[in-house]
């Protein structure tokens, strides 16, 4: 009998784990994906949508799951009874041999008064902001990355793309500022990335404020911490990320799940976690996929596949879409590469990237 593997969530980490299990232990596992939505959204490309509508970002999950070697069940994970190997879900209790929790995070507004950009759902707000810029109703635009758990990359992309949008239309007197709580731009990607991005922002005329965490936007003033104010007509902010509460699982005060190096959830037999929900400071699709591979390998080794569990050793990679088809930046452990094909492999998932582009 194949082992029943329930993967809760149907996003980046869930699909990567299903694909990894198919590759490592196809005939030893029966994989079920439990997903809250009917679609898989490829959110990284949503930063391009306000500027060039029509970029495909959505996949039907039932078909995608089957192609990844799994079954799709629409539903929501509510809690776990690890001792009984049962998941409490919106569609009843589901028994499992192994559970992988990959439910992502809840993005919420961190800067009152700003437009929070969470991906596809906020495309129209960005389009309306761009209309205001083109029509001259908004001249000073700030992009804000507040403190805490956030996705920083999209805010850089939005700032750079807005700069390109304005330049292409020869609109004068637009002031763009990126205010970030980071000490250097995109600091998680390392010094080489920070230097390149700082230079790129300068070339595009985007002012940079580092160590400036946005608090609120009201009456044309963006308040920043430490004590600072910036005048702006519109502010676009990154959301703050939190984990949803799941009964029966250990979680930090912000809802993140602690795991050991093999992606096992602390204190819960046969329960694993991967993706943004994990208590790891960097929230990113590539890291989500790496955690998924670690969890899948751990599970595959336990069901008798010819593979050894490997500990999580994060490698950060990213692709910054700059709005210039000939100059996007790929951040890799070896440094920073100029890149020209904009829409491939935004998320560095070993199995997921070729699966989606193949
Ligand atoms: C605009 C934008 C641009 C980005 N750009 C990049 C980029 O260029 N590169 C990069 O690496 N990362 C990027 N990211 C971050 C990346 O999208 C996330 O880090 C990644 O999707 C996290 O994967 P995940 O599987 O943990 O969560 P998700 O991909 O969010 O998937 C979670 C899934 O779980 C489902 N779900 C939620 N709750 C439940 C529940 N209780 N039960 C069952 N299912 C549930 C959700 O519906 C969803 O399908 C970007 C994010 C945004 C918003």
Span from the CA of 21 to the centroid of ligand 1 (angstroms): 20
Q: Which residue's CA is minimally distant from atom 10 of ligand 1?
A: 285
- Which structure tokens are listed for 122? 């906020």
* pLDDT (0 to 100) of residue 109: 97
Span from the CA of 340 to the centroid of ligand 1 (angstroms): 25
Query: 332 Cβ partners below 8 Å, 6+ apart?
Result: 317
- Residue pair 139/175 in contact (Cβ under 8 Å)? The answer is yes
Are β-strands 77-81 and 86-89 bridged in parallel, bridged antiparallel, or unpaired?
Answer: antiparallel
Ligand 1 pocket, residue 236 CB under 6 Å: no
Span from the CA of 277 to the centroid of ligand 1 (angstroms): 9
Atom of ligand 1 nearest to the CA of 317: 11
Atom of ligand 1 nearest to the CA of 153: 5
Q: Which residue's CA is minimally distant from atom 7 of ligand 1?
A: 44
For residues 281 and 273, give the distance between their C-alpha atoms in angstroms, rounded to a whole number.
Answer: 15
C-alpha 341, offset from chain centre: 21
The pLDDT tens digits for 242-287 are: 999 999 999 999 999 999 999 999 999 999 999 999 999 999 999 9
The pLDDT tens digits for 44-65 are: 888 988 988 777 678 999 999 9
- Buried/exposed 271-294: b ≥16 CB within 10 Å, e otherwise: bbbbbbbbbbeebbbbbbbbbbbb
170: left (phi over 0), alpha (psi -120 to 50) or beta: left
Q: What is the pLDDT along the chain (358 residues), one digit of tens a residue?
A: 999 999 999 999 999 999 999 999 999 999 999 999 999 998 888 898 898 877 767 899 999 999 999 999 999 999 999 999 999 999 999 999 999 999 999 999 999 999 999 998 999 999 999 999 999 999 999 999 999 999 999 999 999 999 999 999 999 899 999 999 999 999 999 999 999 999 999 999 999 999 999 999 999 999 999 999 999 999 999 999 999 999 999 999 999 999 999 999 999 999 999 999 999 999 999 999 999 999 999 999 999 999 999 999 999 999 999 888 778 888 888 889 887 755 557 888 999 999 987 7
Ligand 1 pocket, residue 47 CB under 6 Å: yes
Composition of the chain by helix, strand, coil, percent to 5: 30, 30, 40
Q: Which residue's CA is minimally distant from atom 39 of ligand 1?
A: 103
Tell me if residue 165 falls in helix, strand or coil: helix
Ligand 1 pocket, residue 35 CB under 6 Å: yes
Tell me if residue 249 falls in helix, strand or coil: coil
* pLDDT (0 to 100) of residue 358: 72
Which H or E element spans position 88? strand 86-89
Q: Which residue's CA is minimally distant from atom 27 of ligand 1?
A: 104
- Residue pair 224/213 in contact (Cβ under 8 Å)? The answer is yes
Q: Give the DSSP letter string of 35-48.
A: ESSSEEE-GGGGGT
* pLDDT (0 to 100) of residue 187: 93
Q: Give the DSSP letter string of 299-333.
A: HHHHTT-S-----------EEE--S-TT-EEEEET
Ligand 1 pocket, residue 349 CB under 6 Å: no
Q: Which residue's CA is minimally distant from atom 16 of ligand 1?
A: 285
Ligand 1 pocket, residue 11 CB under 6 Å: yes
Q: Which residue's CA is minimally distant from atom 26 of ligand 1?
A: 275
Span from the CA of 276 to the centroid of ligand 1 (angstroms): 7
Ligand 1 pocket, residue 161 CB under 6 Å: no
- Residue pair 181/193 in contact (Cβ under 8 Å)? The answer is no
* pLDDT (0 to 100) of residue 54: 75
Span from the CA of 8 to the centroid of ligand 1 (angstroms): 13
Which H or E element spans position 183? none
The total of other beta-carbon atoms located within 10 Å of residue 314's CB is 13
Atom of ligand 1 nearest to the CA of 276: 26
For residues 97 and 110, give the distance between their C-alpha atoms in angstroms, rounded to a whole number.
Answer: 38
- Which structure tokens are listed for 218? 């009201």
| CA-derived radius of gyration, the chain | 21
* pLDDT (0 to 100) of residue 265: 98
For residues 187 and 121, give the distance between their C-alpha atoms in angstroms, rounded to a whole number.
Answer: 27
Ligand 1 pocket, residue 285 CB under 6 Å: yes
Q: Which residue's CA is minimally distant from atom 18 of ligand 1?
A: 285
Atom of ligand 1 nearest to the CA of 119: 1
For residues 307 and 304, give the distance between their C-alpha atoms in angstroms, rounded to a whole number.
Answer: 8
- Which structure tokens are listed for 114? 């700003």
What residues does 96 pair with on adjacent strands? none
Tell me if residue 337 falls in helix, strand or coil: strand
* pLDDT (0 to 100) of residue 332: 86
Q: Which residue's CA is minimally distant from atom 20 of ligand 1?
A: 285
Span from the CA of 37 to the centroid of ligand 1 (angstroms): 12
């Amino acid at each position: 009998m194949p082992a029943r593997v329930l993967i809760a969530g149907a996003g980046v980490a869930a699909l990567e784990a299903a694909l990894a299990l198919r590759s490592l232990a196809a005939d030893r596992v029966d994989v079920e994906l439990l997903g809250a939505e009917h679609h898989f959204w490829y959110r990284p490309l949503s930063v391009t949508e306000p500027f060039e509508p029509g970029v495909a970002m959505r996949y039907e999950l039932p078909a995608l799951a089957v192609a990844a070697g799994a079954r799709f069940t629409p539903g929501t994970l509510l809690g776990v009874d690890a001792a009984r190997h049962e998941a409490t879900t919106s569609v009843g209790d589901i028994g499992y041999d192994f559970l992988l929790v990959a439910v992502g995070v809840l993005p919420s507004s961190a800067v009152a008064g700003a437009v929070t950009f969470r991906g596809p759902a906020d495309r129209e707000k960005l389009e309306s902001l761009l209309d205001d810029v083109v029509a001259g109703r908004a001249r000073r635009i700030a992009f804000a990355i507040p403190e805490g758990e956030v996705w920083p990359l999209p805010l850089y992309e939005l700032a750079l793309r807005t700069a390109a949008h304005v330049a292409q239309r020869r609109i004068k007197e637009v002031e763009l500022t990126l205010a970030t709580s980071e000490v250097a731009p995109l600091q998680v990607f390392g010094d080489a990335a920070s230097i390149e991005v700082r230079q790129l922002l300068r070339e595009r005329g985007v002012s940079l404020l580092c160590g400036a965490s946005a608090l609120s936007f009201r009456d044309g003033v963006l308040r920043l911490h430490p004590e600072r104010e910036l005048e702006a007509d519109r502010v676009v902010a990154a959301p703050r990320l939190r984990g949803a509460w799941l009964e029966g699982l250990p979680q930090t005060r912000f809802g993140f799940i602690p795991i050991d190096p093999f992606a096992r959830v602390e204190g819960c037999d046969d329960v694993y976690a991967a993706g943004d929900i994990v208590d790891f400071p960097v929230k990113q699709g590539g890291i989500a996929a790496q955690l998924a591979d670690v969890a899948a390998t751990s599970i595959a080794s336990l069901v008798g596949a010819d593979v050894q569990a490997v500990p999580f050793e994060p490698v950060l990679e990213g692709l910054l879409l700059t709005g210039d088809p000939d100059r996007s930046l790929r951040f890799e452990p070896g440094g920073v590469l100029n890149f020209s094909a904009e829409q491939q492999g935004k998320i560095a998932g070993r199995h997921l990237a070729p699966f989606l582009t193949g």
